[in-house]
Amino acid sequence: AQSVTQLGSHVSVSEGALVLLRCNYSSSVPPYLFWYVQYPNQGLQLLLKYTTGATLVKGINGFEAEFKKSETSFHLTKPSAHMSDAAEYFCAVSLFSGSARQLTFGSGTQLTVLP
Amino acid sequence: SQTIHQWPATLVQPVGSPLSLECTVEGTSNPNLYWYRQAAGRGLQLLFYSVGIGQISSEVPQNLSASRPQDRQFILSSKKLLLSDSGFYLCAWNTVDSRYEQYFGPGTRLTVT
């Protein structure tokens, strides 16, 4: 079984500070990993993904994440937080079940950006 | 380009009433379709997924059902709503070519009173 753990349900940073959102996964096979962002009362938007190849992946809005197999981690970072980054962030791992690939999501991290 | 629609956007229903939420996808063929529920302060729970017309897989036994009458249409239903059915319902899609990520609709906010 695959699972995702997001450490910290709430993270606060000052505008301009580093954003670090933590995600650890468990998987018996090489995982596909994703970060999604959700703004209030909206659907989820894909930020970035890791499937194969380069372990440092860049996404939209200046975010990036690094796949570290030895640490089973896929932490999300952004060098300088902006007020518009305030949202909920979900880490997810892809699982093949039957004829469809399913996503297993972490419980989410609410990011607050302080002025 | 592909787009996904959900309606209604918001819904307030009394306990015991029926429910029908609709999701449609445009710009792609034979998508995999998914229904998720997001309860207040909680993560996403996969409810149903479908790999084709009439093919529904249920992930969690509950008061809800799903149907796929057309290739790009996915419907979530209930005969009698419970208070615990309140939440934010998200529809999503993907295909083999989309490298396994899923694309989400705008969601439906359901409040059962």
- SS3 state of residue A111: strand
**Short-list A12, A104, A87, A1, CA closest to A44:** A87
Say if B107 is an interface residue toward chain A (CB within 8 Å): yes
| Cβ–Cβ below 8 Å for A32 and B100 | yes
| Integer Cα distance of B46 and B33 in angstroms | 11
- Could you tell me which residues come within 8 angstroms of residue B72 by beta carbon, excluding any fewer than 6 positions away? B24, B25, B26, B28, B29, B31
| Cβ–Cβ below 8 Å for A34 and B43 | no
For chain A, give the percent of residues with pLDDT over 70.
94
> A94-98, B29-33, B44-48, B101-105: lowest mean pLDDT where?
A94-98
**Tokens at B20, concatenated:** 């029908």
- Shortest Cα distance, chain B CAs vs residue A114, angstroms: 21
> B11-15, B22-26, B60-64: lowest mean pLDDT where?
B60-64
Question: Which residue from A minimizes the CA distance to B106?
Answer: A43
More confident residue, B30 or B96: B30
- Environment class of residue B45 by beta-carbon count within 10 Å: exposed (0-12), middle (13-18) or buried (19+)? middle
Amino acid at B102: Q
Nearest CB partner across the interface for A43, out of B42, B51, B104 = B104
For range B34-40, the mean pLDDT: 89
| H or E stretch covering A4 | strand A3-7
Average pLDDT across chain A, whole number? 91
Structure confidence at residue A99 (pLDDT): 56
For range B32-38, the mean pLDDT: 93
Q: Render pLDDT for A75-86 as a digit per residue (tens, 0 to 9).
A: 999 999 999 999
Structure confidence at residue A2 (pLDDT): 75
Residues of A in contact with B51 (CB under 8 A): 98-100
Q: Is the pLDDT of residue A97 over 80?
A: no
| Cβ–Cβ below 8 Å for A49 and B101 | yes
Segments in chain B forming alpha helices (H): none
| Integer Cα distance of A28 and A112 in angstroms | 34
Q: Render pLDDT for A18-54 as a digit per residue (tens, 0 to 9).
A: 999 999 998 777 788 999 999 988 999 999 999 888 8
**Tokens at B32, concatenated:** 């995999």
Q: Count contacts between A and B (CB, < 8 Å).
A: 54
More confident residue, B43 or B96: B43
